[in-house]
Chain A
Amino acid sequence: MMGGGEPPPTAAAAGGPLLLGIEALTKVYPGGQRALDGVSLTVERAEVIAVVGSSGAGKSTLIRCINRLVEPTSGHVRLGGLDLVGLKRRELRAARRRIGMIFQEFNLVERLTVMENVLSGRLGFVGFLAALARRFPPQDVSGAFALLDRVGLAGFENGRADALSGGQRQRVGIARALMQDPDLLLVDEPTASLDPKTARQIMRLIRSLALERRRPALINIHDVALAQAFADRVVGLKAGRVAFDGPPQALTPEVLTEIYGVEDWSQTIRRADDDGESTQ
């Protein structure tokens, strides 16, 4: 799969063809909570999309409906021409391999080594016995070393995941997702458990990795300033509906009031300067 070099440019790079198409996606939880109410969204470029909205607006539900960790009630999710809604178990597994996911709580398997966590991104591609014996193809192993180096964790491969700091764990989580060589990155509040500086480093890392590989990334994020600093496009959710979809510059106090409700936004909207810290 991935070496150290640039992946070949895909059709995505040219812009135009549908990368991700969400149509009238609706999710009603068993309790009757209408978490998503006819969300439509199209992604035609390899861009970083920040999904903002107040707590309970349906951000996590949206992301989890895309790879069907949560089963949508109705609607369509098209990934490069394939409708993921209604796929059978085996086809769904194959589709999930094409979608990398990064979590707020990192969700590493703490008792496994860093290397095993990173390699677990390849589980969809290897057989059961090979995975059990930790026998991954040589190109996967070298790809994992390259990614660990890229996220600034060279030399950490034999450490246990529970011996890492929060920022380091998230780097492992990013490496695991990228091991899939995904067509799409889904990221659910990657920085909510991190300090402000580490949060910026992680956002920068996700952004540069997504753009390097020419893949779109959908990032749920609470921090509006971070969203403005690192996204090409912002989608605002309100009570399960799209309330805003546009460039970060268009996030005016009026728009934020529309998404979040009345508040003094003058302190929030401030395109935070890039303070240029390294990725390490």
Chain B
Amino acid sequence: MNAGTYPTAWRPPAFFGSRTRQRIALFCGAAYVVWSLTDLNIDVNRMLAGFPRALNMLARMIPPDFGRWALLLDGMMESLQMALAATLAGALLAVPLGLAAARNLAPMPVYAVARGFIVLGRTLHEVIIAIFCVKLFGFGPVAGLITLGFASAVFLGKMLAEDIENVRLGPVEAIRATGAGFGQMVTYSIVPQVLARTVGVLIYRLDANVRHSTVIGIVGAGGIGQTLSASFSRYDYDFSAAILLSIIALVALGEGFSDWVRRKLR
């Protein structure tokens, strides 16, 4: 046909509307990076001064002191228990939250409230929630448990809601057409479609909770983090080193375990 009358070149549409706007956006982005670097007052001398101190600290860390192993073990167990209990509590809370936050299941007002709760909950980092919880419930693992339980529920609820929204609708309709009730519809057409992935996410969250539990202790929410923070402030760097090595071992174990379970699930 008359190919001559058609354009011979085609470029994908620009992300920011037009080419000019794209260039302006890129320029602004670059300018912002330069400005923020200069504004930070990066003092090279101060950074260099840190190095000898780091070497000194490292020297005092070696050899790690495992002498207070009972204290260490206590902290580790507390962190692990916190992570396990928080994951379990989070999972239980995430089921209703996920169902309520799935647009294809929940009525609009319920959906809006559940989504709002998730958005709000996710804007707050675990450490900030932990600071609140320590103020509310005092120092110790209860604050940590509530922090991680809340954060897990929000995270797992969001993941579950998104999985439910991506479910194939055909089977859901087929089950509804048999005269099944809402609960039966969920257990027969939604649960089978989301179960494998949800268990995978749950295991991932357990692994994440083990890591978080070591951090939130630093603001006083119990567990090995609290022990670590205390050892730093007393300049017991050799004990700190022992704690750090134990944390590394625990997190690596947790990651290995979660990898193994998720491989099994596929």
Contacts and interface: CB of A to CB of B under 8 A. Distances in A.
Interface of A: 67, 69, 93-97, 99, 101, 103, 105-112, 116, 120-125, 128, 131-132, 173, 176, 180
Nearest to B176: A69
B82 to A, nearest CB: 32
B188 A93 contact: no
B188 A103 contact: no
B168 to A, nearest CB: 8
A123 B195 contact: no
Contacts of B188: 109, 112, 116, 120, 123, 131
B170 A69 contact: no
Interface stretch (B50-58, B97-105, B179-187): B179-187
Interface of B: 170-171, 173-181, 183-184, 187-189, 192-193, 195-196
A94 B184 CA distance: 14
B184 to A, nearest CB: 5
Contact of A111 (B170, B181, B196): B196
Given A131-B184, A131-B188, A120 B175 contact: yes
Given A101-B174, A128-B184, A109 B189 contact: yes
A173 B171 CA distance: 10
Contacts of B173: 69, 103, 107
Nearest to B177: A101
A107 B175 CA distance: 9
Contacts of A131: 180, 184, 187-188
A106 B195 CA distance: 21
Contacts of B196: 111
A98 B187 CA distance: 22
A39 B113 CA distance: 41
Contacts of A173: 174
A132 B187 CA distance: 7
Given A109-B193, A123-B180, A132-B183, 9 more contacts: A69-B173, A93-B181, A94-B179, A95-B179, A96-B178, A101-B177, A103-B173, A107-B174, A124-B178
Nearest to A102: B174
A124 B192 CA distance: 19
A133 to B, nearest CB: 10
Contacts of A128: 181, 183-184, 187
